[in-house]
Structures are given as structure tokens and as C-alpha cells.
Structure 1
């Protein structure tokens, strides 16, 4: 497996641990519908969180939010 895949999995695991520590129940991981994928779905106090986890070793190539483009946001909206 490529190093970037390992890094991504580690980031998702850390995000999952963080949400659980904050009291969220993880409902699903790597949920797919068609071409769309959501890394984590979590629930707490009648709120559902859909999380796209972006793991980087630095911000030389941009901030994490720069990688969730309009196309990806539209994919999520039509789910």
C-alpha cells in the first residue's frame, strides 16, 4: 500500500478517536453511494456529522479545506 494511503488511514483513525472522545457515536466509516464517499458519519445530541478527513504532513500544497472542491460538495448534496 502506498505511503499516502497509510497516512490517510491514520488521519481517519485519529479523527474517529477525537469524535469518540467528544462523545460522538460513529455510525459509519467510508460510506459510499455511487461515486461519493464520506469518511466518517457520527451522531451526538440529535446532530449527525458527515466528515471528510484530509490528512497532510504540512500545508505546502494548501490547506485541507482547499481539497474539498465544489464538485465534491455537490456530490454530498445530492445524496
Structure 2
């Protein structure tokens, strides 16, 4: 019985993570880094979205070319080696 519980716990732990990649706090994008990337992508006064313990760069659908701008932000941050929730 103990071995079964151990296997179930290990299996659920391996699939329960919300993020892919290293979980080091210094690799996750900060709100300031997201704002700077948004500015480089043509969005001034951008406010990142809280996503659990991390931040996302969700661009509202009412913003013209929202998907292209959102992709630009994520690409900018990825080029810097930053992880950002999507």
C-alpha cells in the first residue's frame, strides 16, 4: 500500500505544475520587466496581470493589434531569458 501511495504522489506531482521550466524566482519576469517590454512593443502605461505567484502580459482585446503586441512582449522577455506566464 505504501508503494502505491508513493507512486501516485510522485505521478501527480510531476503533472501538477502550472509552468514549464526552471522555477527559480530570479528567472521569472517582474512587473517592471513586463512594463519595459510592453513599452518597447508600443504599449505605454501597460499594467501586467497577476497570475498566481507570477505575472502575465495579457493585452486586452480592445487594444488595436492586441495579439501582435502581446506576442511582441512575450518574445522580448523570452529573448532576455525571462519566464512569463501566458
Give the shorter-chain TM-score range.
Answer: 0.3 to 0.5
What TM-score do the two structures reach when normalised by structure 2? 0.32
Q: Greater relative contact order (Cα 8 A, min sep 6): structure 1 or 2?
A: 2
Which has a greater percent of strand?
1
Which has a greater percent of helix?
2
Higher Rg: 2
